[in-house]
Amino acid sequence: MSRSLAGEKIVIATHNRGKLAEFRQLLAPHGIAVTSAGELGLPEPEETETTFRGNAEIKALSALKGSGLVAIADDSGLSVEALGGAPGVYTADWAGPGRDWLLAMTKVNDLLTEKGALTPDQCRAAFLCTLCVAWPDGEIRFYEGRSPGHLTWPPRGVMGHGYDPVFVPEGASLTFGEMAADQKNAVSHRSRALAALMADLF
C-alpha cells in the first residue's frame, strides 16, 4: 500500500529532548509538524523486548494510542565488537536509572581495558537505529540505520547525548560529541534510518 507522511502531524515517541531536536532538524525540510510524547505528557512505556525492533514498536504504539497521531519511535544503541555486541539493546540501562552517561561510558571503557582493547581497530563499534512508524489504521513499518566507527577515551565534546563523546564515526576524527548537529546528522545511524523512511514515504 502506498503511503506518504507529507502534510501529516507526527508524534515522536520520546521524552529525550536531544533526540527530539535531532528529529526536528531532520524532518524540518519536509514541512512536517512534529510534537513529542514528552511534550504531550504521555507516559513512557516499559521497554520489555530484547530487540531494537520490538522496543521501537512498543514506543510507537504507546504514542499512537495516547495521541491519535501517526507515531514515529526509534530504539537505538551502541554495539561494541569486543564486547560481543554489548551494550546493544541495553544501551540506556548501562547508564542506570539516573541516566548517568559518564557512568555508562566508563563501564564500556573499563571492560575494553580489561580485554586489552586499546587501539581504534580493537575498539570497533557501531551505533544502530531501528525506526518504527505506526498509523491509526494499524499499519506498521520499520526502517534501520547503522553508523560504524570506533570508541575513544577519554570522552571528548559536549554536544549530543548518550555515548556520543566516546564514539568516532568511520572516516572522521571528531567524536559525535564534538560535532555540530548538521555534521552528526550527515552520518548518524538515526539519519540513515530516517533516509530509508523518507525514500519510502515521500
CA dist 126 and 37 (Å) reads 27
Active-site residue (options: 75, 93, 137, 182): 75
| Cell representation of residue 54 | 520490538
End-to-end CA gap in the chain: 13
Known active-site residue 100: no
Nearest to 190 by CA among 131, 105, 126, 125: 131
By the 10 Å C-beta count (0-12 exposed, 13-18 middle, 19+ buried), 6 is classed as exposed
The answer to whether 19 and 181 have CB atoms below 8 angstroms apart is no
Residue positions annotated with a catalytic role: 75
